[in-house]
Amino acid sequence: MKNCIVAQSGGPTSVINSSVIGVLDANNNSHYYDNVYAGINGIQGILNSNIINLSNIAYDDVKGLKYTPSSGLGSCRYKLKPFKESTEEYIKLFEILEAYEIKTFFYIGGNDSQDTVHKLSIYANEHKSDVKFIGIPKTIDNDLPIMDHTPGFGSAAKLIATQVLENFLDASVYPTKGVFILETMGRDTGWLAASACIATVNGKPAADFIYLPEVAFDIEKFLRDVSKKLIEKKHVFVVVSEGIRTKEGVFLGEIGEVCLDKFGHAQLGGVCAYLKNLILTTNTAQKVRVLELSTIQRCAMHCASQTDIDEAYDVGKAAADYSVDGISGNMIGIRRLSNSPYTSVPFALKAAEVANNIKYFPKEWINAEGNNVTLEAYEYTLPLIMGEPKILIENGLPKYTFLEDAFNL
Given strand 51-53, what is the order of strands in its sheet? 51-53, 35-39, 3-8, 102-109, 132-137, 330-339, 342-350
Q: Residues in the chain, how many?
A: 409
Q: Report CA-CA distances (Å) from 84 to 126, 142, 368.
A: 11, 31, 47
CA dihedral 188, 194, 195, 196 (to 10 degrees): 130
Distance between CA atoms of residues 385 and 75, nearest Å: 25
The one catalytic residue among 25, 112, 115, 141: 141
Superfamily of domain 153-299: Phosphofructokinase domain (3.40.50.460)
In this predicted model, which residue has the larger pLDDT, 86 or 323?
A: 323
The per-residue pLDDT for 265 is 52
Q: How far apart are the first and last CA of the chain?
A: 24
For 259-271, write each residue's pLDDT tens digit. 444 445 554 448 9
Q: Is the pTM of this model over 0.85?
A: yes
DSSP-derived pairing of the beta strands 288-292 and 178-184: parallel
For 159-205, write each residue's pLDDT tens digit. 999 999 999 999 999 888 999 999 999 989 999 999 999 999 999 99
For 156-166, write each residue's pLDDT tens digit. 999 999 999 99
The per-residue pLDDT for 358 is 96
DSSP-derived pairing of the beta strands 209-211 and 204-205: unpaired
Rounded average pLDDT over 92-109: 97
For 122-140, write each residue's pLDDT tens digit. 999 999 999 999 999 999 9
Residue 407 has pLDDT above 80, yes or no: no
For 231-283, write each residue's pLDDT tens digit. 999 999 999 999 999 999 998 877 744 444 444 555 444 899 999 999 999 99
Residue 77 contacts by C-beta under 8 Å, 6 or more apart in sequence?
9, 10, 112, 261, 262, 263
The per-residue pLDDT for 197 is 98
- Number of helices (H), then strands (E), belonging to the chain: the values are 12, 17
Q: Do domains 3-139+304-357+388-408 and 153-299 have the same CATH topology?
A: yes
Distance between CA atoms of residues 114 and 120, nearest Å: 10
Rounded average pLDDT over 15-34: 98
Catalytic residue list contains 143? no
Rounded average pLDDT over 307-312: 98
DSSP-derived pairing of the beta strands 178-184 and 235-241: parallel
The domain over range 3-139+304-357+388-408 is classified in CATH as 3.20.20.70 = no
Distance between CA atoms of residues 37 and 6, nearest Å: 6
Map out the domains of the chain as residue ranges.
3-139+304-357+388-408, 153-299
Q: How many CB atoms lie within 10 A of CB 142?
A: 28
Picking from 253, 255, 241, 181, the residue whose alpha carbon sits closest to that of residue 212 is: 241
Rounded average pLDDT over 336-363: 96
Element (H, E) at 243: none
Give the start-end residues of each E strand in 298-341.
330-339
Picking from 279, 284, 300, the residue whose alpha carbon sits closest to that of residue 156 is: 300
DSSP string, 346-364: EEEEEGGGTTT---PPPGG
**Is the distance from CB of 329 to CB of 122 less than 8 angstroms?**
yes
Residue 387 is classified by DSSP as: S
Distance between CA atoms of residues 356 and 350, nearest Å: 13
> Which pLDDT band holds residue 404 (cuts at 50, 70, 90)?
confident
